[in-house]
Amino acid sequence: EDQVTQSPEALRLQEGESSSLNCSYTVSGLRGLFWYRQDPGKGPEFLFTLYSAGEEKEKERLKATLTKKESFLHITAPKPEDSATYLCAVQAEDSWGKLQFGAGTQVVVTP
């Protein structure tokens, strides 16, 4: 059974204090791993897709990396506007379109 585990559950950072979020996964053939950002009361906002081990994607203060067992979302010098819940999801090769989500990491960045 496909599984996605995110850690930590919650993270409190000072503005400028870099950190990393972890997403460990087990899936029978990975089609893609996705990172989303979700603000309270809103739908997930797409950040990155990673397809193969070794791949890296970057957007502003965020950088996502992928290995065969886990993915990291690095937040460099975060700002208060980076406060959100970050969701990781995997799509298996044999389940086109279906996403299996982790529980998310709630990030709070204080000024």
Partner 1 sequence: GAVVSQHPSWVICKSGTSVKIECRSLDFQATTMFWYRQFPKQSLMLMATSNEGSKATYEQGVEKDKFLINHASLTLSTLTVTSAHPEDSSFYICSAPLSRQPQFFGPGTRLTVL
* Contacts with partner 1, residue ranges (CB under 8 A): 32, 34, 36, 41-46, 49, 87, 89, 97-104
Cβ count within 10 A of residue 109: 21
The answer to whether the beta carbons of residues 91 and 31 sit under 8 Å apart is yes
What tokens appear for 64 in the block? 């996502």
The residue with tokens 């970057």 is 58
**Cβ 67 to partner 1, closest distance in Å?**
20
Nearer to partner 1 by Cβ, of 48 and 78: the residue is 48
Nearer to partner 1 by Cβ, of 38 and 76: the residue is 38
Nearer to partner 1 by Cβ, of 9 and 15: the residue is 9
**Cβ 91 to partner 1, closest distance in Å?**
8
Nearer to partner 1 by Cβ, of 10 and 77: the residue is 10
CA 98 to CA 100: how far, in whole Å? Answer: 7
CA 40 to CA 94: how far, in whole Å? Answer: 32
**Cβ 3 to partner 1, closest distance in Å?**
12
**Cβ 42 to partner 1, closest distance in Å?**
6
Name residue 107's beta-bridge partners.
11, 84
